[in-house]
Structures are given as structure tokens and as C-alpha cells.
């Protein structure tokens, strides 16, 4: 398998991200943009995969945790940064402060995850889905109501600290942590919780604790990804982290195959490229034999959410193990 | 005191609409044990159907309004049966997670298809019932609230009769209690499930029309917040329990209306969510429900 030797993969990915960060200036900004989206998507999808795939729960609020991380990190660099950093700081100090901001974003998101997850994960089944769906809605209400964080307009002028090095280092670390954790002795508990909760309980596994741990770790990485996202787009508002964003991440996990990290990475990459492909298609038109005016494809540009919903239904009916799960019939692949 | 009664009337009318939607969640949960995420979007389709049927006549009368409701309820019942037949039935033996994801997919599909077909912008809802206001002292009872309350009470009474006194109602309760034993007793489980979906969807359509009649601006995403709130109402009452859903709807409607009237009004959308967390922490079985241990 692709991730059979996680430590070697991690080192290779880290070297890759250093190289990417070093040569970022030479790459076409358009590709830098796409690469950044891919990296952030991978972090989000792999961290959600820990909750929805490996542990078998269902969270619909990943964008909410992303929002918490994005706002926390942006507030630290935007408001606290100028007071903490000396005016003549070199390039190193702001970067360290950015690292601190990302970690703080992740930690606050993890705390939010604990707050939301602890009550709902004690129960079985669908409660987590609806609670996290509600959390995603509420977090938007909260940020809209906090005037010091920009209200409905959001925060602007966030310093552009994010680069390819940060994005891909985070992605590599996320993949490494999730993969090695699930494959560790401790991590077997996640898979046991996913496979059969009652049997796992009978073997003395505290399934609630495993669910909460998975949820909190997933929320942490979502928060870090949110921080990166904010310092990449330079402007954040509550609408950018709505339900559709959460669904996008869920679709990545499902297309890749729940619990299949390598497949999820492929799906996250492809779904980051999809809007570009659709935009290209939307500009074209195809000739139709029965009419002199060619059929314009502009509607494709607006139909992405519709496409996602049909993907969800179709995959569940025809291929619930995901598109990129090549081992036949293995719905509980370990990695 | 006047304001208190005014808010109480408002809360009762909003709450009875939540109750109608919550009953749909609870009915489906009773027989299939899953949350039908698409329910809130059937509610939206019901409102739009009501709008299209209501536009055909310019005069508003009680009979006409009831006809509009009946038409939309039939269409939505068919929609609910179709959704169950083509999206949920093929998955019945699969894991709960698969069904849950499909339900979310159906919900998104209805929302996005609605934006393509009905248009994303809010549209005015026609005044399908004649309007009139009644006044006692300074408390105003508008015909809107009256219609909402009367229709909701009649529908819930009818439902209670259907579930407790008729043959199909007995079959529904049997299927909810133990589907395998029920099918051994000669009950056609597929028909019962179809009927349950149709019934729940018809109630959602009625709720949608009443909602659109009281707040006459409708758009394809109008179902999301009422749907979420009504789900919380179903959990509050004890999911799977029909009188519980009605009670939960009324309680949440009243609480929400009083918060909206206070100085914390901008936070009112968060109320349902906070309530849900509190219920899950302190009484996960709901007010009228009993927690059943899961058997292997």
C-alpha cells in the first residue's frame, strides 16, 4: 500500500514541502493557488476520515471547527501580533508567532470539539450527525454576533503567512499522525468501535472515550487547517464556513472510501481540481444536431452542490466503500 | 401581562408547526430507526406546492385554502413514498451510516434541485385563507394564528385516531415494536413503511404551508432551520413517541418565541441547539420516552 511505511512517507513529504516552499516564487501563482487548495483539502479530509471513517461516527460540522481555528489564528496574528512582535522583526519571529497562532487555533477547535462531542457521543447512532450539523449553524450565528471579530463581514487584511511549506507540512503531519495512530495498539480501539460497538464494549473497550478522542483530534487538525486557510485567502467571514463546506469535506471522505487514508488523499486532490475542470467546461458549448445554436454548458458552473448530492446518493447505492478502495469487499480497511 | 399572552399565542402557533414537522421525524424513526434528513426539504417542497396551487385562484376562502393544503399534502406524500422507494429501501439491510449518508444526500439534492427549479430568491406566498383579527382587551389573535392552531390540532387529532384506532395504525405500531414479528403475523412491512413515509411527508407539507402562510416569504433553504428545530423537538419529547413530539414542538416554539421577544433575540437560532445539548446530557430519552438498551 501507499502508506505502508508511514515514517518514510512522512520524511519524503516533509522534504517535498520544504522544496515546494523554497521554489514557490518560481511556480505560476495559479498553480500555487491550486496546490494550496489541495494541501488544505488533504488535511481536512484526512482528519475527518479519523472520525467518519476509522471510528465509524458521522460528523457534519468540520467546517465549524475550521471556522473556530481560522478566527482564533487570524485574531492572534491580526490583533495580538502587532503588540507582541517588535516593529523591526526579521522573518523568523512572525513565522514563530504564526506557528503559535495555528496551534492555538487547533487547540481552541479541539476544545470546541470536546464541548460538542462529549454529550452527543455518549449516545449511539445519528445524534452526532445532527448535533454537529447544528454546531455548524450555530458557530456562524456566534461569529455573526461578535462585533469585535467583524460580525457578518468577517475579518479582512489577515497577513499572508501561509505558504506551500506550511500547508504541506501540516498535511503530511496530519496523514502521519492519523495513520500511525490508527495502526498503533491504542488505535485498534478506533477500528473496534467502528466495526461493532457492542462487541467492543464487551471486550472492555471504552468506546465513548475512543469516539471523543477521535473527535477532538479531528477537530484539532480542522482548526489548524482553518488557520492556514485564513492566512491563505487573507479574508474570512462566517459564510465561508457554512454547511456546504462541511459537505464538501464529507464528500471527499466518502468518495475516497471511509477509513481508507490513501483513497481520501486522492479524492481530496481530485475534488480540489474539480471546480477548475467544471469552470473550464462551463465556458464551452457542445453542438447539437437538431438545433443551429450549440448547447451552452454554463449551468454546469453552478451545479457543483447538486453534483455532490448525486455523488453521495449514487455512491451509497452502488459503491459504499468509495471509488478508490481497490481491495474488493473490504469496507473496513485498516489504513 | 398583555405582552405575555400575545407572545404565548405566537409561541403556540409556531410550536404547533414544529410539532407537525417533529411528528414526521418521529414516525419514520419509529419504524426505521433513522433520522430522515430529507424531511425538512419535503417541508420546503410542500410550501412551494402550496404557492403554485394557491396562485391559481386570486380569491381566498376557507374551502380554497383547505383545497390548497390537501393538494400539496398529496403531492408531498407521493414524494415521500418515492424517496423511500428509490433511495432508502435498497439500503435497508446495510449499515445505519450508509442510510444516514444517503438521507443527507437526498436532502441536499432536494435543496439544490429546488434552487434550480424554483429559483434561489425568496418568493411571496399567496394569502390562501381569508384574514381577520380578533381582539380581547389588547391581545390580538390574528386569523393566521387561528388557522395554524386549528389545522394543527385537527391534523394531530386525526393522526392520533389513525394510529390508535385503525387497522393500518395498528400495523404501524406493530412494525415499530418489532418488524420481524410483525411480518410473521402477516403484516406487509414494505407497505407499512411506505404508508408511514407518506403520512409523515403529508404532515410536513401541511406544516410547510402553514409556515409559509404565517411567514409569507419562501425559498428553497427555508426548511433547514425549522427542520433542525423540529428534530430537537422530537428528541425533547422522546424520539419515536408521537405525543412526545407534539409536546416537544410546543415547548420549543414557546421558548423560542419568548427569547425572540427578549433582548437576546439575535441568539434565538442557537436556542434549539443549546436545548439539544442539555437534553442529551441530562435526559437522553426525552420527556416522554424511555431509553431502551440495544440488544445484540
Exposure of A23 in the CB half-sphere (CA atoms within 13 A): 10
The candidate with the shortest Cα–Cα distance to B273, out of B236, B240, B243, is B236
| Cα(B233)–Cα(B248) distance, integer angstroms | 4
Cβ of A305 and B281 within 8 Å?
A: no
The predicted structure's pLDDT at residue B294: 60
Q: Which three cell numbers stand for residue B170?
A: 395498528
Q: Average pLDDT of A75-98? A: 81
Whether A316 and chain B come into contact, CB under 8 Å, resolves to yes
Residue A37 φ/ψ, nearest 5 degrees: -60, -40
The predicted structure's pLDDT at residue A332: 46
Q: Average pLDDT of A64-74? A: 95
Residue in the block written with cell 496523514? A175
| Residues above pLDDT 70, as percent of chain A | 92
| Cα(A308)–Cα(B174) distance, integer angstroms | 37
B interface test, pick of A313, A322, A329, A331 with most B CB neighbours within 10 Å: A313
Whether A120 and chain B come into contact, CB under 8 Å, resolves to yes
Cβ of A306 and B269 within 8 Å?
A: no
Most confident of A133-137, A150-154, B227-231: B227-231
Please tell me which of the candidates B34, B35, B108 has its beta carbon nearest to residue A308: B108
Mean pLDDT of the residues in chain A = 85
C-beta of residue A67 within 8 angstroms of C-beta of residue A140: yes
Please tell me which of the candidates A125, A254, A303 has its beta carbon nearest to residue B101: A254
The predicted structure's pLDDT at residue A329: 46
| Cα(B105)–Cα(B78) distance, integer angstroms | 19
| Cα(B40)–Cα(B225) distance, integer angstroms | 8
Cβ of B281 and A133 within 8 Å?
A: no
Q: Average pLDDT of A164-169? A: 92
Q: Is the ipTM of this complex over 0.85?
A: no
- Is A334 inside a domain boundary? no
Cβ of A145 and B34 within 8 Å?
A: no
Does the structure show a pLDDT above 80 at A91? no
Helices B2-32, B143-165: inter-axial angle, 10-degree rounding: 30
Chain A CB contacts of B276 under 8 Å are 130-131, 134
C-beta of residue B247 within 8 angstroms of C-beta of residue B18: no
Q: Which three cell numbers stand for residue B277?
A: 445539548
Residue A89: pLDDT band with limits 50, 70, 90: low
Residue B286: pLDDT band with limits 50, 70, 90: confident
| Cα(A212)–Cα(B14) distance, integer angstroms | 36
Query: Mapping DSSP to helix (H, G, I), strand (E, B) and coil, where does residue A87 land?
Result: coil
Q: Average pLDDT of B4-23? A: 92
The candidate with the shortest Cα–Cα distance to A182, out of A54, A19, A10, A49, is A54
Chain-centroid distance, C-alpha B98:
24
The predicted structure's pLDDT at residue A331: 47
**CATH fold of the domain at B2-119+138-282:** ABC transporter involved in vitamin B12 uptake, BtuC (1.10.3470)
Neighbours of B272 (CB within 10 A): 25
Mean pLDDT of the residues in chain B = 89
C-beta of residue B12 within 8 angstroms of C-beta of residue B250: yes
Query: Mapping DSSP to helix (H, G, I), strand (E, B) and coil, where does residue B140 land?
Result: strand
Exposure of B238 in the CB half-sphere (CA atoms within 13 A): 13
Interface of B with A in 121-150 (CB under 8 A): none
Neighbours of A313 (CB within 10 A): 19
In angstroms, the separation between the Cα of residue B98 and the nearest Cα of chain A is 6
- Alpha-carbon Rg for chain B, nearest whole angstrom, is 19
Does the structure show a pLDDT above 80 at A283? no
Q: Average pLDDT of B188-216? A: 94
| Cα(B168)–Cα(A171) distance, integer angstroms | 55
Q: Buried (b) or exposed (e) across B125-146, using 16+ Cβ within 10 A?
A: bbebbeeeeeeeeeeebbbbbb
Does the structure show a pLDDT above 60 at A333? no
Q: Which of A236-240, B116-120, B284-288 is the least confident region?
A: B284-288
- Is A132 inside a domain boundary? yes
C-alpha pair distances (Å), B288 with each of B98, B241, B247:
29, 7, 9
Q: Which of A85-99, A227-241, B196-210 is the least confident region?
A: A85-99
Residue A52 φ/ψ, nearest 5 degrees: -80, -30
C-beta of residue B32 within 8 angstroms of C-beta of residue B98: no
The predicted structure's pLDDT at residue A125: 62
The candidate with the shortest Cα–Cα distance to B204, out of B113, B31, B72, is B72
The predicted structure's pLDDT at residue A120: 82
Chain B CB contacts of A134 under 8 Å are 228, 232, 272-273, 276
pTM over the 0.90 mark: no
Does the structure show a pLDDT above 50 at B229? yes
| Cα(B290)–Cα(A128) distance, integer angstroms | 20
| Cα(A245)–Cα(A256) distance, integer angstroms | 17
C-alpha pair distances (Å), A158 with each of A234, B234, B254:
5, 43, 42
C-beta of residue A266 within 8 angstroms of C-beta of residue A184: no
- Is A31 inside a domain boundary? no
- Give the domain extent around A121: 36-83+102-242
- Is A166 inside a domain boundary? yes
In chain A, whose CA is at the least distance from the CA of B267? A141
Does the structure show a pLDDT above 70 at A301? no
Q: Which of A4-18, A50-64, B29-43 is the least confident region?
A: A4-18
Most confident of A259-273, B73-87, B174-188, B217-231: B73-87
Does the structure show a pLDDT above 60 at B29? yes
The candidate with the shortest Cα–Cα distance to A248, out of A51, A44, A55, is A44
Cβ of A309 and B106 within 8 Å?
A: yes
- Is A303 inside a domain boundary? no
Structural domains counted in chain A: 1
Higher pLDDT, B17 or A138: B17
Q: Which parts of chain A fold into alpha helices (H)? A: 6-22, 29-49, 62-75, 81-84, 92-121, 127-145, 164-183, 188-195, 197-202, 207-233, 243-256, 261-282, 304-318
Chain B CB contacts of A129 under 8 Å are 35, 100, 104
- A289: part of which helix (H) or strand (E)? none
The predicted structure's pLDDT at residue A285: 74
Q: Which of A156-160, B64-68, B263-267 is the least confident region?
A: B263-267
Interface of B with A in 189-228 (CB under 8 A): 224-225, 228
Whether B267 and chain A come into contact, CB under 8 Å, resolves to yes
| Cα(B246)–Cα(A308) distance, integer angstroms | 34
Amino acid at each position: 500500500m501507499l502508506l505502508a511505511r508511514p515514517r518514510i512517507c512522512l520524511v519524503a513529504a516533509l522534504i517535498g514541502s520544504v522544496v515546494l516552499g523554497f521554489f514557490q516564487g518560481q511556480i505560476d501563482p495559479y498553480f500555487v493557488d491550486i496546490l494550496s487548495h489541495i494541501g488544505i483539502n488533504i488535511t481536512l479530509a484526512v482528519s475527518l476520515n479519523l472520525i467518519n471513517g476509522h471510528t465509524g461516527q458521522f460528523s457534519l460540522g468540520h467546517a465549524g471547527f475550521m471556522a473556530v481555528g481560522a478566527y482564533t489564528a487570524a485574531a492572534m496574528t491580526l490583533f495580538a501580533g502587532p503588540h507582541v512582535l517588535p516593529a523591526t522583526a526579521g522573518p523568523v519571529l512572525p513565522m514563530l508567532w504564526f506557528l503559535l497562532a495555528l496551534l492555538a487555533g487547533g487547540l481552541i477547535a479541539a476544545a470546541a470539539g470536546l464541548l460538542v462531542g462529549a454529550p452527543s457521543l455518549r449516545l449511539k447512532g445519528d445524534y452526532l450527525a445532527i448535533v454537529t450539523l447544528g454546531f455548524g449553524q450555530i458557530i456562524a450565528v456566534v461569529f455573526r454576533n461578535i462585533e469585535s471579530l467583524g460580525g457578518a463581514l468577517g475579518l479582512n487584511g489577515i497577513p499572508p503567512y501561509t505558504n506551500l511549506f506550511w500547508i504541506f507540512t501540516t498535511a503530511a503531519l496530519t496523514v502521519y499522525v492519523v495513520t500511525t495512530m490508527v495502526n498503533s495498539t491504542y488505535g485498534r480501539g478506533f477500528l473496534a468501535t467502528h466495526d461493532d460497538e457492542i462487541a467492543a464494549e464487551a471486550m472492555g473497550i471504552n468506546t465513548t472515550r475512543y469516539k471523543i478522542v477521535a473527535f477532538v483530534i479531528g477537530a484539532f487538525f480542522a482548526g489548524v487547517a482553518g488557520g492556514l486557510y485564513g492566512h491563505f485567502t487573507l479574508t474570512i467571514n462566517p459564510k465561508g464556513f457554512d454547511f456546504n463546506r462541511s459537505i464538501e469535506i464529507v464528500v471527499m471522505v466518502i468518495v475516497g472510501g471511509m477509513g481508507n487514508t490513501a483513497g481520501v488523499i486522492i479524492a481530496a486532490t481530485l475534488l480540489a481540481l474539480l471546480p477548475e475542470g467544471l469552470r473550464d467546461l462551463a465556458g464551452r458549448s457542445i453542438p447539437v444536431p437538431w438545433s443551429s445554436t450549440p448547447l451552452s454548458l454554463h449551468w454546469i458552473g453552478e451545479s457543483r452542490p447538486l453534483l455532490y448530492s448525486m455523488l453521495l446518493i449514487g455512491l451509497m447505492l452502488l459503491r459504499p466503500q468509495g471509488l478508490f478502495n481497490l481491495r474488493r469487499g473490504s469496507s473496513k480497511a485498516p489504513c | 401581562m398583555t405582552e405575555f399572552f400575545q407572545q404565548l399565542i405566537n409561541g403556540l402557533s409556531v410550536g404547533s408547526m414544529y410539532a407537525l414537522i417533529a411528528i414526521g421525524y418521529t414516525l419514520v424513526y419509529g419504524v426505521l430507526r433513522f433520522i430522515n434528513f430529507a424531511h425538512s426539504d419535503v417541508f420546503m417542497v410542500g410550501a412551494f406546492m402550496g404557492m403554485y396551487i394557491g396562485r391559481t385562484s386570486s380569491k381566498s376562502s376557507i374551502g380554497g385554502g383547505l383545497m390548497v393544503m390537501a393538494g400539496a399534502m398529496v403531492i408531498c406524500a407521493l414524494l415521500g413514498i418515492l424517496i423511500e422507494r428509490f433511495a432508502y429501501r435498497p439500503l435497508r439491510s446495510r449499515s445505519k451510516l450508509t442510510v444516514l449518508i444517503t438521507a443527507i444526500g437526498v436532502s441536499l439534492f432536494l435543496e439544490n434541485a429546488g434552487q434550480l427549479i424554483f429559483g434561489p430568491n425568496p418568493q411571496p406566498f399567496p394569502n390562501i385563507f381569508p384574514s381577520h383579527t380578533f381582539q380581547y382587551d389588547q391581545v390580538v389573535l390574528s386569523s393566521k394564528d387561528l388557522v395554524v392552531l386549528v389545522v394543527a390540532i385537527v391534523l394531530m387529532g386525526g393522526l392520533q385516531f389513525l394510529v390508535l384506532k385503525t387497522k393500518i395504525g395498528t400495523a404501524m405500531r406493530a412494525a415499530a415494536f418489532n418488524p420481524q414479528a410483525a411480518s410473521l403475523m402477516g403484516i406487509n412491512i414494505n407497505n407499512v413503511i411506505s404508508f408511514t413515509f407518506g403520512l409523515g411527508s403529508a404532515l410536513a407539507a401541511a406544516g410547510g404551508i402553514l409556515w409559509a402562510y404565517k411567514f409569507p416569504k419562501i425559498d428553497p433553504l427555508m426548511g433547514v432551520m425549522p427542520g433542525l428545530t423540529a428534530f430537537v423537538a422530537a428528541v425533547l419529547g422522546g424520539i419515536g413517541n408521537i405525543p412526545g413530539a407534539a409536546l416537544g414542538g410546543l415547548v420549543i416554539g414557546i421558548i423560542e418565541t419568548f427569547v425572540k421577544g427578549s433582548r437576546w433575540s439575535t441568539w434565538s437560532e442557537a436556542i434549539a441547539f443549546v436545548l439539544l445539548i442539555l437534553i442529551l446530557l441530562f435526559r437522553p430519552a426525552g420527556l416522554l420516552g424511555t431509553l431502551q438498551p440495544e440488544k445484540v
